[in-house]
Structure 1
C-alpha cells in the first residue's frame, strides 16, 4: 500500500517473499503480539 504521492520504487521486495520466512520479522511479530497482550513491556534487541 502506498500513501498519496509516495514513490513506488523506494522499497523493493522480492516477489513472493513472505514475512514469516525472515527470522527478524518473525521475532518482531512475536514481541509486538506479546506487547499488545500486555505480556511484554521491554523489547529485545534484534
Structure 2
C-alpha cells in the first residue's frame, strides 16, 4: 500500500506526501526489525 501511494504521489510531484509516506515506511521497517510487526494485522 505504501509503495503504491508513493508512486501516485511521485507522479503528482507531491513532495510533502512522499516525505510522509517515507517516514511511515521507515517506522514499519523499524517494527519489522524489532519483531513488532505481525503480517496478519494487515499493517
Query: Structure 1-normalised TM-score?
Result: 0.43
**Larger helix share, 1 or 2:** 2
